Amino acid sequence: MFELIVLILVVVVISILKSPGVKGALGEIKVRSSLSVGSITGGEQKIFHNLVLPAPDGTTQIDHVVLSTRGIFVIETKNMTGWIFGGVRQKEWTQVLYKKKFKFKNPIHQNYKHVKALESFLEVDKSYIVSVVVFAGKSKFKNRMPDNVIPLWKLRSFIRSHVDGVLSDSEIQKFESLLNTTNLSSKARTKEHIKNIQANMHNPICARCGKEMVLRTAAKGTNRGGKFWGCSAYPACKGTRDIN
């Protein structure tokens, strides 16, 4: 009987560890650990994790943000194993694991929303922001990836490879203060973010650019206050669709 209970517990633990939520959290822990080992750039730096910011469709959550003299690094984490296939323009990438194929959203596109939210919130020029996609698991890229898609072991050297002096110490402190005083990382805002994700499930695709659309509220016009579908790539794409 005892052996049966142990076996059941082992199966349950394995199932939990394989769940997407837990795998994602473990990947973020790996990145957090890598970023916390002393100064990356040798100069002033501030690091934020699980940062929730306002976005056109409600909120967006950024895995990691590094404020440094070499720029502002917005990091999207993927904790995956197996072979990874993907390209900048592809809507979905492919993971091959034990001869089975799994599709997942292009992480570069996912991080674009995070970059735009941070750019707007800090009111900073986009040239100061660097988008980075980090694969924290035992995965292998099977085609040439963009320079900003890297395995975890390259993260620190990737940040150090950027030119120093992009931001001053005073600018870093200013941005740190802005992110700290917003209190957007609170549990209440995180709950709001989860509700926002649920509300935007099964979204239609923009007919103009092919990206996912999000629910928005009209700020003016005859439909003021009403809901409509707007392209997630706004303002680069201004595609809309009636909610019905």
Tens digits of pLDDT across the chain (244 residues): 555 554 555 444 444 344 455 555 787 789 888 888 777 877 788 999 988 888 877 788 899 999 999 999 999 999 999 999 999 999 999 999 988 999 999 999 999 999 999 999 999 999 999 999 999 989 999 999 999 999 999 999 999 999 999 999 999 999 999 998 765 545 555 555 555 555 555 677 777 766 777 888 887 777 777 888 888 777 778 888 887 6
Query: Cα 235 from chain centroid?
Result: 19
pLDDT for res 160: 93
Q: Where are the domains of the chain?
A: 2-193, 200-241
Q: Is the pTM of this model over 0.75?
A: no
pLDDT for res 35: 87
